[in-house]
Structure 1
């Protein structure tokens, strides 16, 4: 049969011989993008192989992006990049400065035989579901950032379980999957304990927590710290119609609210770090210089990317809490 060679005398599994035949056809120039390959049934009959054996070969070729199937027509060559060992599906919630740090660190930590396709669901559940459905069977590894979505196990279960990795949030219904996550509640509580010496000079701590896509654990950790240390505190949904006062320290997940607070402090001639305090979340290079430096509570996003690459490379089933810390700067 053209392009498929099986030798019973070789000590190489039959499914691997099918894969090697396709690779050889591509390398020799006999197979090009768009060319049709023998069907599953044709190979089974010609070489007296089980359907499962051929399907294992086809699934691996499909996962690496080498072949693709067209319903009712058969399998075709989709790519001639046969030197790619890993084809990774990466589903983020959104792109921002710190997610870009994770992505860049992840890419830099992978070997040169890995290709990564990145997608974003933008906190839209239907988009999340559709992207996973379309990706199923087309990649060797799947990295999923479920964000605020709960009860996603049925959707993710269509993917090969041994090749799925969860990122950023630990979900109860996804507890069987390897994950690198932020312990939002614990991270905030420990960071505030470490910065207690800075916070004691403020008469009131205020967290601006709009809800929605923001992790509720941050608010819980904040309240836990304030109650434990008997500090006066308040949680507000927004800064609309809010009047800031001397002696207050604000905690803001949103960078938009961070900018508003810096402007409000400047308009009131409040000196950051003395009259008025600001703590932001998720460190970026810009926060190192804004208003002389913004204090942040942040996980190590570069380490998250590095650990993710290592987890996939090692096929690790670990569940890792990514470390976070309070980064002290002028604003507190």
Structure 2
């Protein structure tokens, strides 16, 4: 699972908010499975499996609603093929956990549960990445529209056609600007965000020269300087729009594994969040991501440690995830109570 974060497949904060709690649930399942030796562990194991199964059901339902009215045929086709597999994989986790509860001594039951959790995570990530690809396609389509309008604008032969094409170009550019800004604000990679914002700023600065150069070449068609200026600005706009497309399709440089001191900062952030006196500070925060990152880091440390330290780290991770699960249940309960009080 950690490789998905290391390789930057989780690009946006919206995807991260969905993936983080599911990743933590699955880590919890695997660790409980590894240490399931007493009845209490088995009770926790089945409860965690039920949470995963419910989460996959909810995701499939949300994804189904999201594509109901979509005009994106690729999104509809790719997403439709994932609904059933995601739901079934969640139920498989629950069945594997119940099977392990009946025959805890069988190694193949543990292996089946671990494999099932991996399949759930991969299925969930596929759903999220298909949706994210659709968002990228929308921006790319807007970019293509700007380039098409730019070509029409560049072929203007008189002021009347210039004004007509310039208006259409400006409208297409506004749509591209809006979609690109939305994408830039959603990205987790600051390098990509900066590149997109720089490209938008370059396009903004090009508009005035584009208008001037086009008017000049129409009024003075034999002027070499005017023609050179026209070629320069058309090429500049085209290359900048292509830079936006290139950035959108480039790989994200994830910082999930973090530089030196990254996990100390994540630990301190989590402790600060937990010392807050209100649940509202946790709800809507990066609580799930903080827990997941800390557990992933600890598991990496455990993997390279001696056996006795490995067991201690794994036990601590199991306790952290159990506390995380308990806190999530408390937060969910407080949300339900608030919703009920509205209708009383």
TM-score computed with the length of structure 1 as normaliser: 0.25
The structure where strand makes up a greater share of residues is 1
The structure where helix makes up a greater share of residues is 2
TM-score computed with the length of structure 2 as normaliser: 0.24
